[in-house]
Structure 1
Amino acid sequence: MPIADNLKIIQDRIAAAAVKAGRDPASVRLVAVSKTQSAEAVTGAARAGQLLFGENYVQEFAAKAAEVKEPVEWHFIGSLQSNKVKYLAGLVTLIHSVDRLSLAEEIDRQWRRLGRSCDVLIQVNIAEEATKSGTTSAGLLDLVRSVARLPHLRVRGLMTMPPFFDDPEGARPYFRELRRLAGEITVMGIPGVTMAELSMGMSGDFEAAIAEGATLVRIGTAVFGERQYR
């Protein structure tokens, strides 16, 4: 099925899930996960109206971003090594996967060199799965406070990846917990910190995530089809 058709289906499902939850559909944005997809595929999606894309691999992203000429917005959503931050500087508008202070400090350093600030989300590993990145729920507040002190970073919200479930309802308690954690941080009134964004939900469970407050849903396969390479 053409990407434009897939996008229409996904956007309709996003809107329906938002309405069902009593939310404005415009409060949920689709991040089309373009990892392993070609620059041509991204260009095709952009021409079909999708302008927000999420990438997971730094080197792949840097090459792709140089090829795509459409006016797209890039988010980095994958696990990030500090020594690769320099390749993202100035190219992405939001990093979803800040999970430790040393990484935040490097992002601050690289954006400072540009005289700009970077919006970030703090990744929380709510299930504490060994195979996934993210701070623990217990360590979240301290990390947010520390990152908030960095002058070239703005904490805009939280991100999580729940365990995989065949039934998307299984992921729902993890989405609900991320929203609860965001609420706890909001009432702290930490300077420079907002909880405007909750990045949660993927192709198999995004409707459950929207029901629990997601503002950014990260969807790849349902938009582009199966991965092309890697």
Structure 2
Amino acid sequence: MSVLSPATSSRKTELITNYNKVLESVRNASSLNKEEVKLIAVSKYKPAGDILALYEHGVRHFGENYVQELCAKAAQLPKDICWHFIGGLQSGKCKDLAKNIPNLFAVESIDSLKKCQKLENARNSVPDAKPIGIFLQINTSNESQKSGYLLQNLEEVYETVDFIKNAKYLNLIGLMTIGSVGESLGDGDTNKEFERLVSLKAELDAKYGSNLRLSMGMSNDFEQAIKQGSTQVRVGSKIFGSRPSKA
């Protein structure tokens, strides 16, 4: 395991300042929401020292996009961090995610029943494991390059929800979507893709007697997402700064 290098004093100040600015924007945008909006600090490609600096400031919810990177950071950092896996999840990585991270709070990118089954089976072997929160990713923009359930195939969504409701180690928390560039950067009053997710939430809540959370909105569109009903936003670059390429 690599040694955790704490952030410098100036870096800590920068991170805390950035986080507080985003949090203020979240609270301002959510003034009309009935539910509190959760801010997830997306820390992919950033060192564990950056996460620790915000942890010491009181932040507990962090998002990561890659299983290997998340496993490495989770091993170094405090065990009461609530990790959100928000990236594309390969079926073969479900076991690593569920077994190696006891404090895995949620997987926000579930797009198949098979992945839920693999998470459930793997979590079963973790002593005193807490259930994993599940968000179903919905491809509301119908873009071929994006993962997620398609709105025209809702039977697959129902099948997955039915499985989760009977699972021991999974809890259905909500729905997630990623807005297209055109909608996220557009100048319209509403984002049509966010609107579609709100409609699906209403349908599923009525069908299952639930109150699903909505995880929609990132650095460029989180304020619009909150205004349209998002109760969870995923913000990275506005908190941590620009990221290097994966290479």
TM over 0.5: yes
Counterpart for residue 23 of structure 1: 33
Give the Cα–Cα distance (whole angstroms) in 2 for the partners of residues 218 and 108 of structure 1. 25
**1:140-180 CA-partner distances (Å, limit 9, x unpaired):** 35323334324132211100001113336487111111011
Which structure 2 residues correspond to residues 66-145 of structure 1 after superposition, within 5 A?
66-69=75-78, 71-89=80-98, 90-114=102-126, 116-145=130-159
Extract structure 1 runs of 4+ deviating beyond 6 A: none
Residue 45 of structure 1 pairs with residue 66 of structure 2: no
SS in structure 1 at match of 2:133: strand
Counterpart for residue 228 of structure 2: 212
Structure 2 unmatched ranges of 5 or more: 1-12
Structure 1 unmatched ranges of 5 or more: none
Counterpart for residue 58 of structure 1: 67
Residue 185 of structure 1 pairs with residue 204 of structure 2: yes
Q: Which moved more, 1:8-17 or 1:112-121?
A: 112-121
Residue 167 of structure 1 pairs with residue 186 of structure 2: yes
Residue 4 of structure 1 pairs with residue 21 of structure 2: no
SS in structure 1 at match of 2:104: coil
Change beyond 3 A, Cα 1:170–1:54: farther
How far residue 31 of structure 1 moved from its aligned partner, in angstroms, is 0.5
**1:5-57 CA-partner distances (Å, limit 9, x unpaired):** 001110110011011xx125x61010000111110011111122221000100
How far residue 131 of structure 1 moved from its aligned partner, in angstroms, is 1.3
If the length of structure 1 is used for normalisation, what is the TM-score?
0.90
SS in structure 2 at match of 1:2: helix
Query: How much identity, in percent, do the aligned residues show?
Result: 33
The count of aligned residue pairs is 224
Contact 1:104/1:147, CA 8 A, preserved across alignment? no
Amino acid at match of 1:16: N
Counterpart for residue 195 of structure 2: 176
Amino acid at match of 1:144: Y
Change beyond 3 A, Cα 1:86–1:140: same
Larger Rg over CA atoms: 2
CA RMSD, 1 decimal:
2.0
Residue 199 of structure 1 pairs with residue 215 of structure 2: yes
Change beyond 3 A, Cα 1:61–1:170: farther
